[in-house]
Structure 1
Amino acid sequence: MEERDFFDERPEQRTHVMTCPHCGQQGEYQIEWVVRRKKAQLPRGADDRDRARFAKAQSYMVRRDDPMGCKNIRCRKRFDVVGIQSVAFI
């Protein structure tokens, strides 16, 4: 059984305040996350090893958007998202 069988997956957008490293302007950016929530029950056909893995599993989020575009009209340069974890446990 694979790890994705233990989770329900859906996309979600969250707002974060970031500063452009090129122009220094601060702005609110919508970052796309994939939220993986642990299912309430273990799927059918699981053996003892799968039960142990399911017991240890936690809900978590994975960041999808890595490069962002600056919102300043004069700058518009792309920059990497720093300061925000790429994986966060819920």
Structure 2
Amino acid sequence: MMEYTSKYWNMLTPLIKKSLLKRYGKEETAELLRKTNQIYRDMLRRADDIGKDNPMASNLYEGLIFLALWDASDKQIYVDELRTISEEMMSFPLLKAMG
């Protein structure tokens, strides 16, 4: 079981939210993120613990947020749209600087 840590959720969801608001509006985005948070926590509980110090742990934490988002949308967000949301998130200057 991967331990829940809020840092990835708190760092990425405001940027994802900004992108979702453009597409879905305020109410639908709020509901989608609420569902996403629940699914994300469940996914972490089911994931094998690879250790917080593992260099790939951040990739797993971040990737599960996008998988949870897709699942929360009842699989209605398509790959191209997830890619666009991810690109918009990663174009944020601070995340760009972090690599």
For normalisation by structure 2, the TM-score amounts to 0.30
Question: Of the two structures, which has the highest relative contact order with CA contacts closer than 8 Å and spacing of 6 or more?
Answer: 2
For normalisation by structure 1, the TM-score amounts to 0.32
Greater helix content: 2
Greater strand content: 1
